[in-house]
Structure 1
Amino acid sequence: MTPETTAPRVEGRAGFDRRLLPLAGFLVATALLPVVTLAGVAPFLTGPLGLETTPWLGVGVTILGASLLLGLALAVLRLEGVGLAAVGLTRPLARRAVLWFAGVVVSVNLLLLVVGVTVADSWTFALAGVPPALYVGLAVSQWVFVGLAEELAGRAYLQNKLVALFGGERDLPRRAAAITVMAVLFALWHVPQRLVVAGRSPAELPEALLPLVGFALVLGVLYELTRNVVLVALVHGAFNLPPVFLSVYGSAEWQSMVLLAAIALPSLLWLYAYQRWFSVPPRGPTTPV
């Protein structure tokens, strides 16, 4: 008898089959979800229920939509027979991601403060005039709910599913092709939201969707490098609501380059640190979150 040569499933590397029906159903359901929540539920809340349109209402609707998307992502993963540990969602990985994100936020803001005091023209607190409670609500809605929901849907499910369909688990070019297709699907996934909710015309779609392709590619590569869905979710949320608490101004071109470096370099160094010290799977049981 020939010995089994298939490598065992490891943490963060899912084992999806090649069925297309769950994928098609998931894409349709999740693409229509923003239309239902933002174009359907939100007007109902402000219309028949008479709720006042406030930033807090927006936070609530955002959390509702993200929670529904999270439920769909968890449901399709269960339907596919894939556990949370297999897509990079465990308590040890979540702790690493939170520590990593906190390190990035603290170091970026401290470096911006140093730059603002030493070489910039001026600096102010970016959150001046924003109630702290509202900022916390926005941060929770974006960094936790939206980030985790869209990354469980986009990277943990969609990207891993496409990698399996392309046969890219052990073939780098095929995996790269799967990530590229995922990025395009991720952008097309937002078409109903852009048309119905944002009110964009079909002619404006290419301009609106192209940045999403680049955004999805960045997140897709980051997920492949770390296999940590919580870390990618926090990065996703930080794009939506940047955790930069200082506004630093510089009129000269060299000052702008210094400011850019103050944001980019700590992030890259922390990513290297994660790869250098945190990329080894934690010992002990890989308990799903």
Structure 2
Amino acid sequence: MVRPDTGLPRFEGGPSVPVVSYLLVIVILAGLVAISPGASPPPVLGMAWGVLLIVLTCSAVKIENVAPRSFLPPIRTIVPVLGAVAAFWGLYNLVAVGLALGGVSGFGTGLSRTAFHPVLYLAALLSSLLFTAIPEELFFRAYLQQKFTALAGGTTRRAVLSGVGLVSVLFALFHLPRWFLASGHGIGSALATRLFALTLMGLAYGVVYALTGNLWLVALVHASMNQPPLIVSVSIPSELHLVVGMIEYAVMVSVVYVTVRVTDSDGTPIVWTQRDASVSAGD
């Protein structure tokens, strides 16, 4: 069973709590990027940022009178979570190998760095999971998405879509400090394309979380997208990045949906079966 048997948390704060929390995160991130404007921050700074984001999220949900531990799925969901992620990347590698054997440009038949150095890959994946994926998904999906869904009316389809859509845009804007301060890019078509791609990424992660309510799953998907476990060498042309990304996200969501249907007794996504926690508690 990949999804926990829980509904929306009963948030007691108003809309100002997530708004102030988000603005605070952007300001602090911009400050850190200004301090270390390189393409990749020092490992210590990256770790500190991940811990800080978790602390800020826990502080916000404490103000909302929600226990941070309520966002953590049961251990029993780990097996189906790993199965869903393995299925996605197994399918991805099958396609990549097939394209490589077919001589498609951008897909080589040689082994990737992941295959040559699996231990180093696992270390990089673990670092990405602990200090990037879990903190970001805890803040954006577990807190902000559920908070805005609750503000939009609870677990109706319209409310869920509103929460997913709004937080996807906020997730894209979250990357602007690095775009302007670290990468030195300006305003133009490249920025619009980047924001659109990041919004699509946020939509994919948001739908995965809406379908499952499982922080471990969405965080592991996020981390593995940052560190793709590809067996063969892949170098996709820049003009195809957006198209390939759209295909990746569609397949990812499809695999998760099938996993939910297979592993859950009623086969219905959590967002349309669970009631608001305040209702289920008898309020």
TM-score, normalised to structure 2, is: 0.72
Q: Which of the residues 133, 142, 166 maps onto 1:147?
A: 133
The answer (yes or no) to whether the contact 2:115–2:230 under 8 Å persists in 1 is: no
Distance 1:81 1:106, change over 3 A: same
Distance 1:199 1:89, change over 3 A: farther
CA RMSD of aligned residues (A): 3.7
Distance 1:211 1:128, change over 3 A: closer
1:177 is aligned to 162
Aligned AA for 2:71?
V
Deviation at 1:186, TM superposition (A): 1.9
Distance in 2, matches of 1:221 and 1:96, equals 17
Partner SS for 2:229: coil
Distance 1:214 1:249, change over 3 A: closer
Aligned AA for 2:125?
A
The answer (yes or no) to whether the contact 2:39–2:183 under 8 Å persists in 1 is: no
Distance in 2, matches of 1:179 and 1:132, equals 34
2:31 is aligned to 36
2:6 is aligned to 11
Q: Which of the residues 66, 76, 95 maps onto 1:82?
A: 66
Query: What do the CA deviations read for 1:59-87 (whole angstroms, capped 9, x no partner)?
Result: 44333322221221222222212234643
Aligned AA for 2:19?
A
Residues matched between the structures, number: 251
Distance in 1, matches of 2:65 and 2:109, equals 52
The answer (yes or no) to whether the contact 1:12–1:89 under 8 Å persists in 2 is: no
Larger mean Cα displacement after TM superposition, 93-102 or 157-166:
93-102
1:237 and 2:223 equivalent? yes
Listed as ranges, the gaps of 5+ residues in structure 1 are 1-8, 44-52, 251-258, 282-289
Please tell me whether Structure 1 or Structure 2 has the larger radius of gyration of its CA atoms.
1
Distance in 2, matches of 1:209 and 1:219, equals 15
1:256 is aligned to none
Q: Which of the residues 167, 183, 186 maps onto 1:201?
A: 186
TM-score, normalised to structure 1, is: 0.71
Partner SS for 2:233: strand
1:22 and 2:17 equivalent? yes
Distance in 1, matches of 2:103 and 2:97, equals 10
Deviation at 1:144, TM superposition (A): 3.3
Listed as ranges, the gaps of 5+ residues in structure 2 are 237-243, 267-283
Query: What do the CA deviations read for 1:34-82 (whole angstroms, capped 9, x no partner)?
Result: 3233332x47xxxxxxxxx998x74443333222212212222222122
Fraction of identical pairs, as percent: 24
Distance 1:234 1:266, change over 3 A: same
Partner SS for 1:247: strand
